[in-house]
Structure 1
Amino acid sequence: MKRIESVTRPEALQALAHPLRVQILERLREPASAATVARDLRVPRQRVNYHLKELEKARLVRLVGERRSGNFIETLYEPVARTFVVSPRVAWAHPRRAVAMAEQFSLEQLVLLGERLQRDAAVLLDRAAFEGEQIASASVEAEVRFATAQDRAEFMKAYLAALGPLLKKYGTAGGAPYRVLLSVYPDPEESLVSDKFEKTFEFVVPVERLWRAFTDRTELDAWYPGQIKDADVRPGGRITWPMGEFDYVWEFVEVEPNRRLTWKEPPGLLPGETEVTAVFEQTGTGSRVRITQSGFGEGEDWLGQLESWALGWSQNLANLYLYLRTGVGFDRFFTWKSETGVTVTDTPAGPEVLVVKPGSFAEQAGVRVGDIVVQVGAAPVFGQSDLWVLEREHEPGEELEAMYVRGDKLLRGRGVLGAFGA
């Protein structure tokens, strides 16, 4: 019997979904018959027989012999392994994951290392639980934020340079074998270290109607901010909106009618180029579009941009909802008058300040990086969208009070709002 088996087949996962089957597998740590298992678990033998057959079909148990019990011959079963762990691959039906791992070697190694760590930890737990072994182990987890990709690379280089002498000093050929692991990867639950966002929007119109809203010049002019200067929706074509000193551009890479649009947005509103993919799908009640924007960079120029653009898409698509539902086109997005001069990230406590623009309203009011803004003027602030409402409502030159939390103190300060984009 193997010590451990990784469950990678859907039929095996389905077989393990029944709680009684898990109990049967645990009871079969030593070979036993259906009658013995039924007696120990206090359930009918016919029930145990049925579930053993299902486990056998899923190749999770096997026949290992027979024994006589009175006038009967009992079949003995044992599991194919002492412990089972479910591999995340069993839920990966989409082929893009395999392609991504094939294209990104370090990511593939991270996935394989994670699976190995899961298996090793389960085996060691069994040795402690069933064999009484004291397991000498240690785990260290740390979160570090790198300002640039170069800093991250230098950290790995320095770590490996320090690790080599330690392994040479303390490792011996005849000693007990231990595994030492290091993984460095973005926190998957922390949006600030991601280079993309994804948002899905549902509509009650056919997918063909939704497609036209994104690709027809007249339709776009009705709901999307600004007035289009030129539009050519084909691979290699572009849509252009004048934006004062520069043009805002969609440069099309992929155009699959009623299914998929991919375009690049050159630097301008953002510090660097990003790519946007819109996937269109028919649903039972209408249609949906999934927007993914990637290419958000690192460093101070990019702080807060990902969250701002994700919020911007939500507000822009509210204009589209209105237009498709009522036929009324009304731009509620590009309506800023003033600016507070802060870049923030939304937290459960409120918007936390990432950047303070020199000479801005925020700097005049004494706001610093790390503060949480709770009120500006008479308006409470719960998130970035509240700051946007304030900047759209108040004129530049207005003097307002800001309230913000720093550590365990509630602070106040006054400043003058600047002109938007100045």
Structure 2
Amino acid sequence: MNRNQTVPETFIVTEPEQAAALLHPVRSEIISLLKEPRSATELSKVMNDSAQKVNYHLKTLEKVGLVMRAGTRNVRNLVEVLYRSAGKTFLLSDSLGLSQETIRKLKGQTALAHVLSLTEKIKRDAVSLMEEAENEEIPSAVMEMELSLLGVEERQAFLQDYSNMLSELIKKHHDPKQGKSTTFHVSMAMYPKPEGGGTT
């Protein structure tokens, strides 16, 4: 990649080694600083760390494909290698099979990335269902709503109440025998409404 190439908006994390790199605090910081090309020397100044240590982590990130070379430049008769992140945001693939505990450890916007991951799963499932359907309507439902919450405590209380209510509904209507019944996937996603109003 040269300096003029555009960094993809989203990079799909498909390998365990990539997920492990995102879990590493120093490496995740490096990735966040590489939205624009930078050298190991530049990164070391921003991070207040040694160039040798930063370069070591850069090599590891390059090896697993989370950063890539974006060209070189001459600085005082020395050639510096420039690096860029492989994407502006990183999305965990369902194929990774990461536990919820591992996902929670990811810093930055991991919760939102998980929402994106869920969205992709729903999209793939919907396409598969449409391909399997033979002129029959697929039983499905979507519910959207908005609510205003003052802070973290209210948000947590709402999520707890919602989770309890949903658990009771599932317990009430779920067919434990699963004989001729159809299994449905139920999901919930919650996130702040974008200032611009989001998509409609």
TM-score, normalization by structure 2 = 0.51
Return closer, same or farther for 1:16/1:73 CA change in 2, 3 Å cut-off: same
1:2/1:81 contact within 8 Å kept: yes
Matches within 5 A, 1:43-54: 43-54=49-60
Structure 2 residue corresponding to 1:34, chosen from 33, 40, 44: 40
- The residue that corresponds to 1:23 in the other structure is 29
SS in 1 for 2:9: strand
SS in 2 for 1:12: helix
Name whichever structure is richer in helix by fraction: 2
Distance 1:92 1:295 in 2: 30
Matches within 5 A, 1:226-241: none
Distance 2:72 2:95 in 1: 36
Are 2:85 and 1:79 equivalent residues in the alignment? yes
Are 2:115 and 1:115 equivalent residues in the alignment? no
- The residue that corresponds to 1:58 in the other structure is 64
Alpha-carbon distance, 1:88 to partner? 2.9
Matches within 5 A, 1:156-167: none
AA of the residue aligned to 1:34: A
Matches within 5 A, 1:13-412: 13-91=19-97, 114-115=119-120, 153=139, 190=167, 191-192=170-171, 193-196=173-176, 274=177, 294-295=178-179
Distance 2:49 2:22 in 1: 18
AA of the residue aligned to 1:88: D
Distance 2:95 2:89 in 1: 18
- The residue that corresponds to 1:12 in the other structure is 18
2:21/2:28 contact within 8 Å kept: no
Alpha-carbon distance, 1:296 to partner? 9.8
Return closer, same or farther for 1:114/1:79 CA change in 2, 3 Å cut-off: same
2:39/2:80 contact within 8 Å kept: yes
1:7/1:85 contact within 8 Å kept: yes
- The residue that corresponds to 2:133 in the other structure is none
Return closer, same or farther for 1:295/1:62 CA change in 2, 3 Å cut-off: same
> Structure 2: any 5+ residue segments left out of the alignment?
1-6, 100-115, 124-137, 143-162, 183-200
Distance 2:22 2:118 in 1: 24
Return closer, same or farther for 1:39/1:92 CA change in 2, 3 Å cut-off: closer
Return closer, same or farther for 1:40/1:92 CA change in 2, 3 Å cut-off: closer
SS in 1 for 2:49: coil
Return closer, same or farther for 1:67/1:116 CA change in 2, 3 Å cut-off: farther
Alpha-carbon distance, 1:65 to partner? 0.7
Question: What CA deviation, in whole Å up to 9, does each residue of 1:261-306 have, x standing for no partner?
Answer: xxxxxxxxxxxxx3xxxxxxxxxxxxxxxxxxx55979xxxxxxxx
Question: What CA deviation, in whole Å up to 9, does each residue of 1:333-385 have, x standing for no partner?
Answer: xxxxxxxxxxxxxxxxxxxxxxxxxxxxxxxxxxxxxxxxxxxxxxxxxxxxx
1:59/1:80 contact within 8 Å kept: yes
1:195/1:296 contact within 8 Å kept: no
Compare CA radii of gyration and give the structure with the larger one. 1
Return closer, same or farther for 1:10/1:194 CA change in 2, 3 Å cut-off: farther
> Structure 1: any 5+ residue segments left out of the alignment?
94-110, 119-151, 160-186, 197-273, 275-293, 299-422
1:12/1:58 contact within 8 Å kept: yes
Q: Deviating runs (4+, > 6 A) in structure 1?
A: none
Return closer, same or farther for 1:116/1:17 CA change in 2, 3 Å cut-off: same
Question: What CA deviation, in whole Å up to 9, does each residue of 1:61-118 have, x standing for no partner?
Answer: 111111111132110000111111212321179xxxxxxxxxxxxxxxxx98622789
Question: What CA deviation, in whole Å up to 9, does each residue of 1:301-324 have, x standing for no partner?
Answer: xxxxxxxxxxxxxxxxxxxxxxxx
AA of the residue aligned to 1:42: N
